[in-house]
Amino acid sequence: MPEITDKAREEFFSEAQEIIETLSRNLLALDTAQKSGKEDPSLINEAFRAVHTLKGLAGLFGAVRLGAFSHRLEDLLDDLRLGRMDLRPEVLDVLFSTVDAYGRILTIEKEGRDEDLPSVDDLFRRLDKLGAAVERSASPVGGYELDPGMLAVLTEYEEHRLRSNIEQNLLLYRLRVQFDLSTIDKALDDMKERAKRHGEIITYLPTGEATGVDAIELDLLLASRDDLATLIGSLGADNIVIEEIPRRRRSVPPSVVPLRGSVAGAMSPKQEFDRLAEAAAGEVAPSLRSLTQTVRVDIRKLDHLMNIVGELSIVRSSLSRIAERLRGEGSRQLATELMRLHRNFDRRLGEMQDGILEVRMVPLGQVFDRLARVVRQISRDLGKEIRLVITGAETEIDKLIVEELSDPLMHMIRNAIDHGIESAERRAEVGKPLAGTIALNAFQKGNHVMIEVEDDGRGIDEEALIEKAVESGKIARHEASELVRDEILALIFVPGLSTREQVDDLSGRGVGMDIVKTNINKLGGVIDVHSETGIGTKMAITLPITLAIVSALLVRVHSQVFAIPLSTVSEALSFDPSQVRRVENREVITVRGSSLPICDLGRLLGLPEPIEDRRRRFVVVAALGSRRLGLVVDHLFGQEDIVIKPLGSSLSRVRGFAGATELGDQRVGLVLDSGAVIEEVLSGAEGPRERPSLLHG
């Protein structure tokens, strides 16, 4: 016989500990559910499963007392889950005491001690006093046209739940759902959450049909008060077929009249009361248990916390200034103490800031799952077979960004399938696999998250794109010949350009890509396009990890301090103002042989001209996509992480600023919206603007 190693024992104890923690969470959830008058039978079953597993393990690892205790508790939970005993408050009290008892038992088992545990003995007595279980007459399941194959796989518990639901005169539904095996856990969890609002899922049975290596079909048996139309409205999707399981004719009591398709008649006053109470209480909260482990937090609350952190950082700088003053006034010791306090404060504040940021982060998988469904739908609509390959779904990014990403990504994928991927015949001709591949890759790169949408389609037809741009007057013919490759590809983002002859429902008339670009820019991101004719197209989105904090370059223009988000800054250099040339009504300087349009921020913003003589000034090169603009400033302070606060509602429509930020010395600096400034200046819009603009001066 193989010896049970110390390592195995240790793992057993750590698993036992985890199971007890799960039990504790389940009991808490049960208590919450009980208090709010809602029932969730699955919670008792999970508590049972936890204790059941403990018992089995205790036997294997020779933990006799753990085994005996679990055995007794398992009996009780079995009675509870199978409806042979009611979950009375005193029963729940005893259950809560078991968590402590488990802790004690585990400790002595682990240390191999043999000592009396009076509190556990006492608990045994309390368990005995709870009274005997009552065998209930089981109601028949024969009243429904249930598939015998489904009935055969019900565990005792599932069968009990089925009977219990039938007793309550609920409707039974069969949900036939197709899942991708690689994502089934998450997909099923989503499904469960939604189904729970309508009733109870009794079992999940793999049908064994229409399944391949990577897909599976499950039959879900759902008991619900809602009618078929309601369920289809709420749960319907193209991978789900919902059918009501009809009652056998003869067994329907004549008095039963369906009531708005919900609860049938013949209810006891108590049942009627419960139904009304539930209806009044609104929807059953999805998964009470998850409440104990996770909390949903309105992102605005996190923004608020982040603002407080910003304000605290101002307190922090005041502290250090006071310390300096004290030192100057000769109170060295006090100054040193204050500095120590300041360092400690500084460190904790940093931790707090990191902590808040971390809470905002969610995996991109959330939006990728949604996109997977879209791909399935589009490929079916267009009759193109598509293989979707996702990598990096675990990459985390700010919740607010995730919310805003869904639409742009969906447009990009639609475009890729519609315009990029060739028809099956065409692919066969050029020797590509018949199924087109769309790859969705995400990864973190420094302070940015990269998302790539890649297809193995025909690539962007540059000739056609130029032709279209010229035809529609977006560029002049003579300009067209001077465009470099990246500039040509960037034409897909010009409003109103599409390379497809026919307008179709799916991608429309190139409406997608310019909006995609705008939306990505709004998030402080950029898109780059790479394309090879005949091989495919790749669009790479670069996004900041969070919107709450940005790294910014602090600059001074005349006497004002501004922050320029670093994500839009490609470089900063000093230059001699006398080198400025004028080309086509625009100021330019030469940087490493090529000309860079510049813009004097002070003049643009209408700041009063300073008296100081400025022989040497600085230019901050802001770049978004392929466009570059040099912003002329007087002084560079360096880089700092800033918290952006929104401008008040009266200023929110002003273009050119992304918000305001508090600077360490209790002053407020405006955060430049580089994207808007670039658009404004480079579009050469000297005429009247549609929107009020600070840039107008």
Q: Which residues are catalytic?
A: 52, 74, 415
Angle between helices 184-196 and 228-235 (to 10 degrees): 140
Q: Which stretch binds another protein (CB under 8 A): 83-91, 200-208, 357-365, 571-579?
A: 200-208
Binding flag, residue 57, another protein (CB under 8 A): yes
Single out the residue of 94, 117, 205, 515 in contact with another protein (rule: CB under 8 A).
Answer: 205
Task: State in angstroms the smallest separation of the CB of 204 from another protein.
Answer: 6
> 72 or 275: whose CB is closer to another protein?
72
Total of chain residues touching another protein, rule CB under 8 A: 43
What is the C-alpha separation between 514 and 13, in angstroms, rounded?
Answer: 58
> 289 or 316: whose CB is closer to another protein?
289
Q: Which two tokens stand for residue 505?
A: 């429902």
What is the C-alpha separation between 372 and 379, in angstroms, rounded?
Answer: 11
What sections of 111-227 are H helices per DSSP? 118-129, 148-152, 156-167, 184-196
What is the C-alpha separation between 453 and 442, in angstroms, rounded?
Answer: 9
Binding flag, residue 203, another protein (CB under 8 A): yes
Residues 150-179 touching another protein, rule: CB under 8 A, are 152-156, 158
Q: What phi-psi label fits residue 496: left (phi over 0), alpha (psi between -120 and 50 degrees) or beta?
A: left
Which residues on neighbouring strands pair with residue 504, listed in sequence order?
508
Binding flag, residue 363, another protein (CB under 8 A): no
Element (H, E) at 210: none
Task: State in angstroms the smallest separation of the CB of 396 from another protein.
Answer: 24
Single out the residue of 52, 198, 432, 538 in contact with another protein (rule: CB under 8 A).
Answer: 52
Single out the residue of 119, 128, 142, 181 in contact with another protein (rule: CB under 8 A).
Answer: 181
> 78 or 303: whose CB is closer to another protein?
78
Which residues on neighbouring strands pair with residue 387, listed in sequence order?
437
Single out the residue of 108, 188, 319, 349 in contact with another protein (rule: CB under 8 A).
Answer: 188
Task: State in angstroms the smallest separation of the CB of 16 from another protein.
Answer: 8
What is the C-alpha separation between 79 and 75, in angstroms, rounded?
Answer: 6
Single out the residue of 26, 30, 31, 61 in contact with another protein (rule: CB under 8 A).
Answer: 61
Q: Taking the alpha carbons of 389, 392, 398, 399 in that order, is the dihedral positive or negative?
A: positive
Single out the residue of 22, 38, 59, 352 in contact with another protein (rule: CB under 8 A).
Answer: 59
Residues 264-303 touching another protein, rule: CB under 8 A, are none
Binding flag, residue 64, another protein (CB under 8 A): no
Binding flag, residue 148, another protein (CB under 8 A): no
Binding flag, residue 78, another protein (CB under 8 A): yes
What residue type is assigned to position 360 of the chain? R
Q: Which stretch binds another protein (CB under 8 A): 28-36, 147-155, 246-254, 274-282?
A: 147-155
Residues 9-48 touching another protein, rule: CB under 8 A, are 11-12, 15-16, 46
Cα dist. 542→407, 437, 438, 628 in Å? Answer: 16, 22, 19, 17
> 221 or 527: whose CB is closer to another protein?
221
Cα dist. 204→141, 154, 169, 201 in Å? Answer: 17, 9, 21, 8
Single out the residue of 21, 36, 60, 293 in contact with another protein (rule: CB under 8 A).
Answer: 60
- Residue 31's CB: how many other CB atoms inside 10 A? 19
Binding flag, residue 106, another protein (CB under 8 A): no
> 17 or 406: whose CB is closer to another protein?
17
Binding flag, residue 79, another protein (CB under 8 A): no
**First-last CA distance in the chain:** 87
What is the C-alpha separation between 439 and 452, in angstroms, rounded?
Answer: 8
Task: State in angstroms the smallest separation of the CB of 61 from another protein.
Answer: 7
What are the DSSP calls for 245-295, one per residue?
A: -PBPTTTS-TT---STTSS-S---HHHHHHHHHHHHH-SPPS-HHHHHH--
Binding flag, residue 149, another protein (CB under 8 A): yes
Binding mask 108-137 for another protein (x = CB under 8 A): ------------------------------
Residues 231-260 touching another protein, rule: CB under 8 A, are none
Residues 6+ apart with CB under 8 A from 371: 388, 406, 409, 410, 413, 440
- Residue 507's CB: how many other CB atoms inside 10 A? 20
CB 180 within 8 A of CB 155: no
Instruction: Give the closest residue to 560 by CA, choosing from 501, 509, 612, 602.
Output: 602
Task: State in angstroms the smallest separation of the CB of 10 from another protein.
Answer: 10
Residues 610-649 touching another protein, rule: CB under 8 A, are none
Say if strands 436-445 and 448-455 run parallel, antiparallel, or are unpaired.
antiparallel
Binding flag, residue 105, another protein (CB under 8 A): no
Single out the residue of 31, 40, 74, 673 in contact with another protein (rule: CB under 8 A).
Answer: 74
Task: State in angstroms the smallest separation of the CB of 136 from another protein.
Answer: 16
- Residue 434's CB: how many other CB atoms inside 10 A? 11
Binding flag, residue 195, another protein (CB under 8 A): no
Single out the residue of 17, 32, 53, 290 in contact with another protein (rule: CB under 8 A).
Answer: 53
Binding flag, residue 206, another protein (CB under 8 A): yes
Q: What is the dihedral of CA 162, 163, 168, 173, to 10 degrees?
A: 30
What residue type is assigned to position 445 of the chain? K
> 1 or 257: whose CB is closer to another protein?
1
CA 629-635-641 angle, 5° bins: 80
Element (H, E) at 435: none
> 150 or 670: whose CB is closer to another protein?
150
Q: What residue ranges bind another protein (CB under 8 A)?
A: 1-2, 4, 8, 11-12, 15-16, 46, 49, 52-53, 55-61, 67, 74-75, 78, 149, 152-156, 158, 181-182, 184-185, 188, 203-208, 213, 216
